[in-house]
A and B are shown apart, each in its own frame.
Chain A
Amino acid sequence: MTLHEEFESALKSATEEFGMENNYPAILSLVEKYISDEMPQAQFNSQLKNLIDSIETRS
């Protein structure tokens, strides 16, 4: 068991609950890269901005 396995499944359910299933791959990728400390700040900001722009809010 790793956080990856448990978090992946919990995140999948959470995105469905919040109506964000389309954003699931992008969120998981952001989390994974952030946890592994592999992402420079500029890349983090850009990836976060793209992710946020792609989220559809419920009216």
Chain B
Amino acid sequence: MIIFLKGWASKGLRCPDMQITLPSYKTPNSVSLIQMPNGTGKTTIIELIEACLTGSSFTKEKVLALKGQTNDSANGEFALHIYAAPYFGRSERNISIIIKFNFDEGVGTYYTIRDTSTGQELGWQPPSDLRALLSPRCIEVFVFKGDKVESLLDKTRDDAEQAIKAFFGISKVSELIEKINSSAIFDLQGPKTDKGVTQQQNTLKKWLAQKQAMEVEKTRLESELLQADRDYEDIKDRAEKIRVGEKDARERLAELESKIRATQLEILSMSEKTLRIYKNPLSLSPRLTSKVETLRSNLDQLKLPGTSRTFFLELIEKSQVCICDRPMNDVAKDAIRSKSDSYLGDEHISVVNGIKQAIQTFSTPTHDVAEYFLPLRELRSKLGELKQLEASRDVLVQLNISQATEQDQKVMATFEECVKRRTIIEGQIDEISQPLSDESLSVISTRNAEEIRSLDAIDKVIRSLTEKLAETTKTVDNFKRKELLQECLKKASKVALQRISEVVCERANRQLRDIFPSGTLIEIKSIGKHIQLGFRDRSQAKGSGAQNVAVAYSFASTLLSQSGMKFPLIVDHPMIAVEVGAREVLGGVLPSVCNQIVGFVIDTEKEGFFDALSSSGFALDTLTIFRNIPGNRHHKDKLSNVERSKVGEISSDAIVSFDPEFFRNFKSKDSASSGSSQNV
């Protein structure tokens, strides 16, 4: 299936009102560069494109933040237009996903046009053949920021594996395995009058419903975390700058943080040492030692089984009368000997002696008791020192923030809110992903299904209930067959994933070599949960800006081409992290490895890239969008020399140019005055 981004339209939002149709939207290997100066709403447009592709929900705060400053109405709208080329006998389709915002109520509602012939339907309902690609994990692969591609390389994340699973349908096989599980309930039926069976089925149904609810919740939270991560990445450098303050404060803060790190290391080492000492509990309490010593003395007084045996043996040798007053004849002597062998074993003596020996060994102090508390006192003092250092650091940071401008203070408040939001979402995801030990199963299964959020716990309860139901309904064989089928599918998925990952790795490396024909000292060593980079025998966490970007393009385009899907790569700042020389190389070859690239750029990242693209021979759209405000009068004036057909709609909000020369010569005020290449 070949999908193109056709364009988008916005109205009443933080980005200007516009209707964009990309001229090359049906042309394979095309590049559309959208040049927008800072503050024109580029980030808003990309966020809304992503939302349309994933169907993610909007918080009230998010909706209110999207409202355009000049919009007096209660409504706003964003529409994403997608073109699906004909394939396998299906005719071409024009698909639109629309979000209608109500700013009074703070809600965003999705509508979908699956084809121009079907009309607008309520809800996010992309066609089923497209839906498999539209999970947050897939979208992250082909809608990304050129300067923030590290998530694929981050070993603490599993983005690469999740993307492969989603692209190649392995996620769908996992879904099928689950479906086999949930369908079990319909087959495990006993006689209709059997109340016990009905009750068990109803309980199982509740747990299955809870499982479904938690899966939906997990997907929602993952999507929110993705957004929160992006918000965090956007703001963290600026927040750090504000946090560390000006030169003097920065130096003082660096000194404090260095001391804090050193103290933390000391505390770690002291804690280990202290714990080693305190592993002997008898060392901790003289009273306990004395009590154990008393126990040892008392054991000496104990009438041991061995002693009793000696007593009976002496009795039969020396005494004429037994202790029960019967005469001690040969029959009685034989009986006593035989019984003493059975009941009075010598091994009891060695056990008790072992206990006494152990008490002596462990209760004999090797140090003065007071010495045992010395490490603890030192540790406590070090912890106090750390607390003081941290307090000094916090005071300094607070001082820096209070001395910052009002705008910077707002940035810090937003940053802190963002950090808090990420922590909360991560906690909620952890709660759902938390594994359950088998021992807790009996406790969990007695609780209401709605109270349990751990998917692992829910799965285990469902399995246990299904097993019981199978026993009740005498369908254990049926249950075993289902389990066998699931195991078989799981094994096949695991092996297929491993093979596909190896092939993706090999082909992505081939693309990397195409991107850097004169060679580069980087390759994908392996793809597991994340992409492991390296070269020959060495591994490395990440490469240079250009290498990381090239890896992201290679991985994404390999996934797309190998999965039989062709989907646009939508990239924010495709070249900002890449040095000019490498831009020339990438610009010449990137279109050949991707079906469609839609890149949102600022003027400073055109250098090297634009010329290379222009001379590559591939279709290139060059859009420049700027706000229709008095400050941009000089840009508007320059447009009077441009052919009318190359100037898009001029709204009260924005002006759009499609002219390549205008694109090439456009310089925003920011870059013209500062020469900075960084997006703020």
Contacts and interface: CB of A to CB of B under 8 A. Distances in A.
Contacts of B495: 10, 13-14
A51 B488 CA distance: 13
Contacts of A34: 172, 175-176, 179
A14 B168 CA distance: 19
B564 A2 contact: yes
A11 B492 contact: yes
Contacts, number: 93
Contact of B481 (A3, A35, A57): A57
Contacts of B492: 7, 10-11, 13-14
Interface in B236-267: none
Contact of A18 (B169, B173, B484, B496): B484
A6 B499 contact: yes
Interface in A4-59: 6-7, 9-11, 13-15, 17-18, 20, 23, 27, 30-31, 34-35, 37, 44-45, 48-49, 51-53, 55, 57
A3 B504 CA distance: 12
A13 B492 CA distance: 8
Interface stretch (B180-188, B377-385, B444-452): B180-188
Contacts of B562: 1-2
Interface string B91-133: 0000000000000000000000000000000000000110000
A45 B500 CA distance: 30
B68 to A, nearest CB: 38
A31 B486 CA distance: 12
A57 B488 CA distance: 13
Interface string B558-584: 000011100000000000000000000
Contact of A3 (B169, B187, B477, B482): B169
Counting contact residues on chain B (CB < 8 A from A), the size range is 35 or more
B639 to A, nearest CB: 48
B478 interface: yes
A55 to B, nearest CB: 4
Decide if the interface of chain A is mainly helix, strand, loop or mixed.
Answer: helix
Interface-centre pick from A15, A37, A48 (highest chain B CB count, 10 A): A48
A53 B477 CA distance: 9
A6 B500 contact: yes
Contacts of A18: 484, 487-488, 491
Interface-centre pick from A2, A11, A52 (highest chain B CB count, 10 A): A52
B391 interface: no
A50 to B, nearest CB: 12
B503 A1 contact: yes
A45 B169 CA distance: 21
A38 to B, nearest CB: 9
A2 B169 CA distance: 9
A52 B481 contact: yes
Interface-centre pick from A3, A10, A53 (highest chain B CB count, 10 A): A3
Interface in B157-187: 168-170, 172-173, 175-176, 179-180, 183, 186-187
Contacts of A51: 485
Given A3-B169, A3-B170, A17 B491 contact: yes
Given A34-B172, A34-B176, A49-B187, A3 B484 contact: no
B322 interface: no
A30 B489 CA distance: 11
A20 B481 CA distance: 10
Contacts of B563: 2-3
Contacts of A37: 128-129
Contacts of A20: 484-485, 488
Nearest to A28: B492
Interface-centre pick from B477, B482, B500 (highest chain A CB count, 10 A): B500
Contacts of A23: 485
B480 interface: yes
B496 A3 contact: yes
Contacts of A48: 180, 183
Given A35-B169, A57-B480, A27 B496 contact: no
A18 B180 CA distance: 18
B467 to A, nearest CB: 15
A46 to B, nearest CB: 11
Contact of B183 (A2, A27, A45): A45
A57 B477 contact: yes
Contacts of B491: 10, 14, 17-18
16 contacts: A1-B500, A2-B168, A3-B496, A6-B168, A9-B499, A10-B495, A10-B496, A13-B492, A13-B495, A18-B484, A18-B488, A45-B183, A48-B180, A52-B187, A52-B478, A55-B481
Enumerate the 6 nearest inter-chain pairs by beta-carbon distance, A residue then B residue, closest first: A10-B495, A11-B492, A55-B481, A14-B492, A3-B168, A10-B496
Interface of B: 128-129, 168-170, 172-173, 175-176, 179-180, 183, 186-187, 477-478, 480-482, 484-485, 487-489, 491-496, 499-500, 503, 562-564
Given A17-B491, A34-B179, 8 more contacts: A14-B491, A18-B484, A18-B487, A27-B489, A35-B169, A49-B187, A52-B478, A52-B482
